[in-house]
Chains A and B, each alone.
Chain A
Amino acid sequence: MIDKRKTVDEIASTLRDGMTIGIGGWGSRRKPMAFVRAIVRSGVKDLTLVTYGGPDVGILVRTGQVKKVVYGFVSLDSIPLEPHFRAARQNGTIEVMELDEGMFQLGLRAAAWRLPFLPTRAGLGTSIMDTNPELKTVTSPYADGETLVAMPALRLDAAFVHVNRADAAGNGQVTGPDPYFDDLFCMAADKAYLSAEEIVPTEKLLEGAPLQSLLIDRMMITAVAHAKNGAHFTECPPDYGRDEAFQKEYAATAKDEAAWEAFRARYLDVSEDEYQKAVSK
């Protein structure tokens, strides 16, 4: 019986300054927020974040732990512009690699497949090629001779994803409607960490859910943490929707230093258990 269970804090404590980390989910949807909070508590810094960005970016940028963000967008969905990310960009405090969101997927896929790059037309003719001078093109060796973007592999030191259910061995299940690219994040990473709403015995995984919901298999996963409500305040359907009131409160802290300090003291400089108690009323 394989048992890879650890706490989110045990897992976050293995991170080192300067690492490149991938964060699953999409915008303000099924983000591994319990891991993000554990990363805040760990104090690790100079991170490069690779993410379909949401509040994961905003929080870690605001706490000063991020050197660079690799993204196609950063959004809170119901609040289109992520205010902490916005402030960091406008103050020039972070480096960025802005990509087309499809190129981003190809970067993860190239890393997962251990290829140096994957070709695409996306990005040609746009500012993506100018703002990322490291992007190169490649010419088709076939008769068409077409020149394409060689989207480089987005190799990750660690990846974090949150799913609805998992077992102790690290098999992960998405019972919600969109897997996003969580499997690619895991395969693009040297170490991949899974959190789940519920850890169940392996033989229970297919109770009430189809085979196709088993997105993450244990080969991908280094350790698994139980994190009930672990995507809060982002959505995690069918278990829960987004906590819009909390997200508004979070977004409002970008305008007001004192509000941010109060938010941080109440919701971030506390354990995950204390956080869950604070948001449950």
Chain B
Amino acid sequence: MSDVRLSDVCIAAVADLFRNDGEIMVSPMAPVPAVAARLAKKTFAPELVLTDGFNKIIANVAPYGVPDPDQVVEGWMPFRKVFDTLWWGKRHVIMGATQVDQYGNQNISCIGDFQKPKVQLLGSRGAPGNTISHTTSYWVPKHTKHVFVPKVDVVSGLGYDNAAKLPEVTRARHEIRAVVSNLGVFDFQTDDHRMRIRSIHPGVKLDDVIANTGFELIVPADLPETRTPTADEVALIRALDPKGIADKELGA
């Protein structure tokens, strides 16, 4: 299995997050999730709805980052319909996170004091509406203490501790399914919804994960390794990402 790359493991791990999502729109915001969504649609979840990243819903599973002469358009998804779809709840978004904390709060707004930030980022974008309306996951290509922080400077995406302060009716569709990084897969399936390690990628040591995380992770007694994608999946990933853009995202 020497030809299996870390990026393949990450792609399969993100793809696995879409199992049992049903006929919903998946919105990946970076290369690894974009290839992952294609892998899922091509293998176990043909019902997923994917766009070209702009405003067309694409029926076929198109390779990432290259023109597709065989593109089949099955629908229109301008931004006004994106908002309709996300408030409807039929969406699973995989966002990035400049900071993510132990309860799954995410920050893409700014670092430091909001009134006079040390570093201005994008702005909160759709994170507040996404997280309270439908399933959200995060993809972090470089797992460090600067990203995995005890408490985010600004809450863009709603985490479990802040969601818990809202009535059940309001948070009914709130779900942070997982955070996938270059080191492992993390979820919030704990009594108090604090982040736990779901699995560690092959070749990664637990100490590395702990050393690069700025808070105490829940570590299960029996710690699984993230699954290695099958040879068929790896072949598909090569075909779906012919330029190896996902691999480059990991700095390989």
Contacts and interface: CB of A to CB of B under 8 A. Distances in A.
A92 B123 contact: no
A157 B154 CA distance: 31
A146 B168 CA distance: 10
A126 B120 CA distance: 18
A261 interface: no
For chain A, give the interface size range: 35 or more
B115 A92 contact: yes
A177 B163 contact: no
B170 to A, nearest CB: 6
Given A81-B121, A100-B129, 6 more contacts: A74-B122, A80-B122, A81-B122, A89-B110, A98-B114, A100-B128
Interface of A: 26, 53, 71-75, 80-81, 85-86, 89-92, 98-103, 105, 120-128, 131, 144, 146-148, 177-181
A127 B156 contact: yes
Contact of A177 (B54, B120, B132): B54
Q: Which 6 A-B pairs have the closest CB atoms?
A: A122-B129, A73-B123, A89-B120, A92-B116, A100-B128, A102-B129
Nearest to B162: A125
Given A90-B116, A181-B79, A100 B169 contact: no
Contacts, number: 127
Contact of A178 (B79, B128, B163): B79
B167 A89 contact: no
Interface in B20-60: 54-56
A81 B120 contact: yes
A102 B134 CA distance: 14
A75 B115 CA distance: 19
Given A101-B125, A125-B162, A127-B109, A147 B114 contact: no
B128 A128 contact: yes
A181 B80 contact: yes
B7 interface: no
Indicate the member of B54, B76, B80, B86 with the most A CB atoms within 10 Å. B80
B169 A144 contact: yes
B243 to A, nearest CB: 17
Contact of A90 (B56, B119, B127): B119
Given A89-B117, A122-B133, A124-B132, A146 B170 contact: yes
A129 to B, nearest CB: 9
A177 B156 contact: no
Contacts of B132: 121-122, 124-125
A260 B79 CA distance: 33
A72 B126 contact: yes
A144 B168 CA distance: 11
Nearest to B152: A127
Contacts of B169: 144, 146
A103 B170 CA distance: 16
19 contacts: A72-B124, A73-B123, A74-B122, A86-B120, A90-B117, A90-B118, A90-B120, A100-B124, A121-B133, A121-B170, A122-B128, A122-B132, A125-B155, A125-B171, A127-B114, A127-B156, A128-B128, A148-B170, A177-B55
